Structure 1
Amino acid sequence: MNTRIAALAALFLAAPALAEAPAMTVMPSPGCGCCHAWADLARAEGYDVSIRETDVAALKDDLGITPGHRSCHTALVGGYVLEGHVPFDAVARLLAAQPAIAGLAVPGMPSGSPGMGDDPDARYDVIAFGGTAGAGEVFHEAGR
């Protein structure tokens, strides 16, 4: 994993994640309601969510999230970066598989994604980014 990402993750995750409630830090865009809706859904999924207000544009730059992968919020969990409205089944798969990537992104704000309408039939791709294993490839196809 990128040492820059590991260092930033250490800053935001003060306590080790527990199996029952993995620690997740969500950095929302200022004034964005859907960011908080996604964080609420993460809590409902069993994550121990904390919200950190920060300069999200600078954070995305520091984490190496390219403009084509960006969305409204960024989260850190289990040493990985989540960009945007990543569905929680993809997060669970990521944490279980522990691939050599920096994280997952749902570019933009697709209608029906978690926090954007929560439609289980919504179709959009979850893209792996950073690292060496499968970066730039579709990690998960929501609604398919």
Structure 2
Amino acid sequence: MPLSMIAGLAVSLSFAQAAPVIEVHSDPHCGCCSDWVSHLEEAGFEVDHHRHDGVRTIKIEHGVTPELASCHTALVEGYVIEGHVPAADIQRLLEERPAIAGLAVPGMPHGSPGMETGRVDDYAVLGFTHDARPPAIFSEYLQP
């Protein structure tokens, strides 16, 4: 087996063995939030899902502005994850460790994880900070 394959396998196994715990806060009546949680679990994350009516307070406490807001807020290893961010982007965030507060998918775009409705919209995952810098595109999901 080539060395590069062994190294890649080791990284994949280490992620699976030390699955980061994501603390998710969502409204108790939101079905798409549970679907997003399933998406994270399928990607190897351990999820601690809190369903409560205080999600807005969590957003405010962690600097999620109305422009970035979606239906659920998650916390993982010091980062804030807002909305339907794909698991692959969270994995990349945790591997690269950029100097940002977190990632957000504002709103609830169709076709994003947890929002598989048959319709698929273009959307961007934004990296955001808690200072005056505007959010920047972390990744984009564009339809052909």
TM-score bracket for this pair, using the shorter chain length: 0.7 to 0.9
The answer for the alignment partner of 2:63 in structure 1 is 64
Q: CA separation in 2, counterparts of 1:76 and 1:107?
A: 16
- Separation of aligned partners in 2, 1:122 and 1:109: 10
Secondary structure at the aligned position of 1:68 is classed as coil
Q: SS of 1:70's equivalent?
A: coil
1:45 is aligned to 43
How large is the Cα RMSD of the aligned pairs?
Answer: 2.0
CA 1:127/1:104 → structure 2, altered by over 3 Å: closer, same or farther? same
Q: Which among 23, 32, 37 is matched to residue 21 of structure 2?
A: 23
Contact 1:103/1:128, CA 8 A, preserved across alignment: yes
1:107 maps to 106
Structure 2 residue matching 1:91: 3-state secondary structure: helix
Name the counterpart of 2:11.
none
Amino acid at match of 1:64: G
Q: State the number of aligned residues.
A: 125
Is structure 2 residue 93 aligned with structure 1 residue 94? Answer: yes
Distance 2:42 2:117 in 1: 13
Runs of 4 or more off by more than 3 Å in structure 1?
A: none
1:65 is paired with a residue whose SS is coil
Q: Larger Cα Rg: Structure 1 or Structure 2?
A: 2
8 Å CA contact 2:85–2:104 kept in 1: the answer is yes
**2:73 paired residue number:** 74
Amino acid at match of 1:42: L
User: Could you tell me which residue of structure 2 aligns to residue 35 of structure 1?
Assistant: 33
Does the 8 Å contact 2:109/2:115 carry over to 1? yes
Percent of residue pairs bearing the same amino acid type? 45
Which residue is equivalent to 2:82? 83
Unpaired runs of at least 5, structure 1: 1-17
